[in-house]
Structure 1
């Protein structure tokens, strides 16, 4: 695995600086104070779902594993920290040998989660675990937000495929991560070639309005595209007059025309008119693709229309109004001393303002009802009830610093579909509501 696989510029040597200044100053103080080697347990969770959402989607786990592996303080990074006087020399010497050697457990990527779900658990010395807080949260908060929006959109789309096409609406590196998260959430393809290269996601694309406008006539543009890409291509028909463009497209490509794309106007009305026109022209198999600032609500509104696929950009890569999941990384248990045999003590923040947390290393299980449908997310710190023993959600991801749970992205995507299907039917409703199942603490 190299840095390019993470979606980083090739001149970035590691992920170690994808962190906050205070992570390193905490480390320095812990090293001086004698608490750095205390065994610690950190957990990632969210206290609430974004307003109106019924469930969350765990995404970015694979990228987290890559980031942990590449969390190295090489000479260039150490020189930067030294020049800025971020930490002292003994701390720099400690960082020079940093390799995460602990254990990480978590919900498998693609799984759904709810308030309080311990979606990731990081164990090791305080020093090695605290450094990973920012990069882990950065990845999980972004990717899970995109995957949740994608899941809602794919549920609204039903069997119709979704194309991710939001690269131009976000940061160039975030676009690659967003494409991956969208694929986890149910999208079929992406327009982003970097995402295709790094993650094997199928890529698609044909032409934009500029291609039509650079030609003297729309007919010339269609002819050039069909000659180059074949009759199965998708022609963009809303540059000038949609009705004339559709007629022209079929004249040029014949009934073998692959698809037409509509990017403006009243999509419901235009799609019905275009479908009727295509059928009358003998192009019954030509598909209709719609784009134009779609979100899950717009997609749902087109359910009764003769649309065959949707292209989604801005709303997807911004989480459809919720660009983060508000996940936090909290210390929930720590050893009484640096002695490897010292017992763990639960710890938790108890301040006011809705930011309290529950101490102790946690397990989680999803309890089904008599019909096998999920009815509760059960989270506990003691023994796992016998009836939930085979329903536990956390799996081992890293053991002794070594990644043990890499898996193909297609497997993650399939897991999400199965997890979503295991929730009550109301989970897929787009109307605002509470989490579809409650979180119970035992």
Structure 2
């Protein structure tokens, strides 16, 4: 059976049938009329800088989509933060890329949203271990998109095994509540011992300690059961049951320390977002973040023609003319016409991606992550959230 889960196949994305119907009808109409103008089209979310930065990613997939077509493309680097102006620019005959607009925007919009949310989590707990646990909230065919966005934004790992194979990284995670249920109440120690005996030595021994009994009681039992082999405990307590989660974590820390288990880390998960991470980062050692990333709104990119046969044009509400975007020394963005002078000390951010159909850029996830984190420092991303500490 082919395509058993009903997803759009890669062939449809590449040949342009993964598109909105009106692009196909536009293509048919232009071909009938013998029109195929030379255009400049730009992808933007906001026309002018807003001061609210987001992460740009998905550009490697866009390059694959546009490869082999007689166009030139410039784009921001993977992992760059932006707050207005073009993030990608296409020059060429319109029919070369007309039917690809839907897929192109999808390749950018959702991954950029995921990465921005993941960066918010990273900045909320910069010195903590933070893992992406959100793959269960999205269609499995895009799990690697979520996990790549998380790594790009600086998270320390993720849980999805197949995504790890694609990204060439080891998936993280130890045990679900189901393991404890299979052993039964009163047999938690047997479950933890079996786990310790069964899994490879390089897997951290993190015991889930909120299944049947009080979190303090199960955490102490785990520490007593595994002794020096225990690396940490995970509190995944449902929000409706945990009350003041910070107080609960502090109680567990106190009881472990009081009995000589001060080297046992505390890992928290379960509906956590940036606000909770800021509140817990001084009492917990690590976090699993899921829906705070996967429920992120896609970045609302649109693609618009801004130049037609060498003449500046625009629809109402958009800015005409081929543009460039700069990072100024104070960390702001500056948008200007491409033939205008650059601002003093400004760094042009649009870089060649495709020239006459050939990809002229290499992609490296580690380099993109370093860029993202450095840029977050440069523009002060997430600094306002410190008010919640």
String of CA shifts for 1:362-421, please: whole Å, max 9, x gaps.
1111111xxxx3144333332233734x61000111111111112211110100011111
Q: Residue 218 of structure 1 aligns with which residue?
A: 188
Question: 1:378 & 1:361 partners in 2: Cα distance?
Answer: 11
Spell out structure 1 runs of 4+ moving beyond 4 A.
8-12
Alpha-carbon shift at residue 25 of structure 1 (Å): 1.2
Deviations 1:31-90 (A, max 9, x none): 122222x211110001279xx982111011112223334xxxxxxxxxxxxxxxxxxxxx
> What SS does the aligned partner of 1:429 have?
helix
Contact conserved, 2:129 with 2:285, CA < 8 A, in 1? yes
1:41 aligns with 2:40: yes
Aligned-pair CA distance for 1:13: 3.0
**Alpha-carbon contact 1:143-1:181 (below 8 Å) kept:** yes
- Measure, in 2, the Cα distance between the counterparts of 1:237 and 1:287: 12
**Residue 429 (1) aligns with residue 372 (2):** no
Distance 1:53 1:333 in 2: 27
Contact 1:175/1:317 (8 A) holds in 2: no
Q: Alpha-carbon deviation of 1:255? A: 2.7
Q: Would you say the 8 A contact 1:162–1:310 is kept in 2?
A: yes
**How many angstroms does 1:187 deviate by?**
1.3
Q: How does 1:19-418 map to 2 (within 5 A)?
A: 19-36=19-36, 38-47=37-46, 54-69=52-67, 99-115=68-84, 117-216=85-184, 217-229=187-199, 230=201, 232-241=204-213, 242-264=215-237, 265=242, 266-305=244-283, 307-319=284-296, 323-335=297-309, 344-350=310-316, 356-368=317-329, 373-385=330-342, 387-388=344-345, 391-418=347-374
Pairwise CA distance, 1:174: 3.0
Question: 1:255, 1:282 within 8 Å by CA — same for their partners in 2?
Answer: no
For the 8 Å contact 1:59–1:144, the answer to whether it is kept is yes
Structure 2, unmatched stretches of 5+, are: none
Question: TM-score scaled to structure 1, two decimals?
Answer: 0.79
For residues 10 and 31 of structure 1, the distance between their equivalents in structure 2, rounded to whole angstroms, comes to: 26
Mean CA deviation greater in 391-400 or 266-275? 266-275
In structure 2, C-alpha distance between the alignment counterparts of 1:254 and 1:168, rounded to whole Å: 32
1:169 positional shift: 1.1
In 1, Cα distance between the equivalents of 2:64 and 2:173?
29
Cα offset for 1:10? Answer: 10
Aligned residue pairs, count:
371
CA distance in 2, matches of 1:149, 1:40: 34
Q: 1:186 to 1:53 in 2, by over 3 A?
A: farther
Secondary structure in 2 matching 1:316: helix
Counterpart Cα distance in 1 of 2:382 and 2:9: 43
**Contact kept in structure 1, 2:79 and 2:369, CA below 8 Å:** yes
Bigger drift between 212-221 and 192-201 goes to 192-201
1:175 deviation in Å?
2.5
CA deviation map 1:265-298 (0-9, x unaligned): 2331121122222223332222111001011111
The structural deviation recorded for 1:330 is 0.5
CA contact (8 A) 1:257 1:283 kept: no
Q: Per the alignment, do residues 140 and 288 of structure 1 end up closer, same or farther by CA in structure 2, a change over 3 Å counting?
A: same
Which range is displaced more, 282-291 or 148-157? 282-291
Of the three residues 390, 412, 420, the one matched with 2:376 is 420
Partners of 2:112 and 2:209 lie apart in 1 by 35
Query: 1:314 offset after TM fit, Å?
Result: 1.2
In 1, Cα distance between equivalents of 2:356 and 2:129:
41
Name the SS for the 1:359 alignment partner: coil
Determine the C-alpha separation between the residues in 2 that align with 1:400 and 1:201. 34
Contact 1:161 1:310 in 2 (8 A): yes
How many Å apart are 1:426 and its aligned residue? 6.8
Distance 1:380 1:255 in 2: 63
Q: Which residue of 2 aligns with 1:84?
A: none
Structure 1 stretches of 5 or more lacking a match? 70-98, 336-343, 351-355, 433-442
* RMSD of aligned alpha carbons: 2.4
Contact conserved, 1:112 with 1:416, CA < 8 A, in 2? yes
In 2, Cα distance between equivalents of 1:45 and 1:176: 25
